[in-house]
Amino acid sequence: MIVAGVVAYFAFGLHRYLSFETVRTHRMELVNWVGEHRLLAMAIYFVGYVLIIAFSLPIGALGTLLGGFLFGIVPGTALSVTAATLGAAVVFLAARGAFADVLRKRAGNWFARMEDGLNRHSFSYMLFLRFVPIFPFWLLNIVPAFFRVPTRTFVITTFLGIIPGTAVYASIGAGLDKVFDQGHTPDLGMLRDPHLYLPLLALAVLSLVPVVWGWLRSRREKA
């Protein structure tokens, strides 16, 4: 179903309509409609964002920016984080049900050893990966399923780990009006500014403290 959804997204040309150009062209209609039907708009946005993540569509950044633009930084962040977590859980459970056992049987003992090491500190590792956007979001929804990361750990770390980055995107989205007024298209290149991710990197390092502490304690006990 997930693969079929991605194929349908491109086959029906939805990628040509779900764009910054469409938002810029219809922004007044969107803003006015949201102002008149705010709760309904939030519900539609939430369901739409869940589907974007569940089908791993390449418009997650647009969705997050749109949330900040239409609803403001705090509501946009809250909606995006909750919807993204739910969508990610769908992908995680689907991957675990469809492929995890097959991969585990074929991989052998090395896979079991890696799985054991990961699961001992799964919360810290998952939180680290969520804080630092090194890998694509969709990939981090699938790989943990192969290593039997507990569903509860996956959901909690996903929710907490994406809050800072989502808030950054939503705050930029809240300023899209000024960008559109100048006749420009948002430059997502600014989101790759290293200075923007220094606070996220600091949070990621803190998330690994339990791992480092456990390693030091085991070394001390062996000595």
Mapped to the 3 state alphabet, what secondary structure does 82-143 carry? Answer: HHHHHHHHHHHHHHHHHHHHHHHHHHCHHHHHHHHHHHHCHHHHHHHHHHCCCCCHHHHHHH
What is the per-residue pLDDT for 85?
A: 97
Name the pTM for this structure: 0.80
Counted domains in the chain: 1
| pLDDT tens, residue by residue, 97-119 | 766 666 666 655 655 666 666 77
Give which of 52, 61, 70, 68 is closest to 6, Cα–Cα.
52
Q: 106 is written with which tokens? A: 């074929």
- Which residues in the chain come in under a pLDDT of 70? 98-117, 182-223
> For 7, how many CA atoms within 13 A lie in the half-sphere containing its CB?
4
What is the per-residue pLDDT for 129?
A: 83
Contact 169, 61 (CB under 8 A): yes
What is the per-residue pLDDT for 152?
A: 93
Instruction: In whole angstroms, give the CA distance from residue 49 to residue 81.
Output: 10
Question: 22 is in which domain, residue-wise?
Answer: 2-222
Instruction: In whole angstroms, give the CA distance from residue 222 to residue 220.
Output: 5
Contact 133, 162 (CB under 8 A): no
Give which of 99, 92, 148 is closest to 119, Cα–Cα.
148
What is the per-residue pLDDT for 18?
A: 78
What is the per-residue pLDDT for 79?
A: 97
> For 64, how many CA atoms within 13 A lie in the half-sphere containing its CB?
26
